[in-house]
Amino acid sequence: MLTSEQLIDEYFVENRNRVLEVAAFLDRLDRADESGQSVLDFRLRAFGEALSTLSAPALADPAGSRLNRIQELLSDPTTEPIPALDRKSARGAYDLWSAEARQ
C-alpha cells in the first residue's frame, strides 16, 4: 500500500482533471439551460447531493465512506420487484423526488 504522500504524488493530477471535467459539465449545463429548469432534474438533484458528500468529512465506519454514501444516494431505495418492464436500461439515479411527490 502507498503512503498518503505517495498517493498524492501518484494520483493528484488525474483527479485534478476529474474535478475540472465535473466543473465543465456543470458550466455547459448552465450555458444551455436558459430557463434554469435543469436543477429540477432528479439526476441533477442527486448529483448535487453527491457533490456535497465529496466535501463532507469521511466517517470512521467503512460503510460511511464518501463512496458508499454516494452509491447509496444514487441507488433505488425500494425493496420489491416492479410489476412490469418500464424501460430496458437504468438511468443512473432514482427519482426520489417524484416518488415522494406521488405519496
- List interacting residues with other proteins (CB under 8 A): 1-2, 10, 62-63, 65, 67-68, 71-72, 74-79, 81-94
What is the nearest approach in angstroms of other proteins to the Cβ of residue 95?
Answer: 9
Q: Closest CB to other proteins among 30 and 97?
A: 97
Contact at 8 Å (CB) between 42 and 95?
A: yes
Contact at 8 Å (CB) between 52 and 66?
A: no
What is the nearest approach in angstroms of other proteins to the Cβ of residue 51?
Answer: 17
Q: Closest CB to other proteins among 37 and 78?
A: 78
Q: Closest CB to other proteins among 36 and 77?
A: 77
Q: What is the DSSP string of 39-77?
A: GGSHHHHHHHHHHHHHHSPPPSSGGGSHHHHHHHHTS--
What is the nearest approach in angstroms of other proteins to the Cβ of residue 82?
Answer: 5
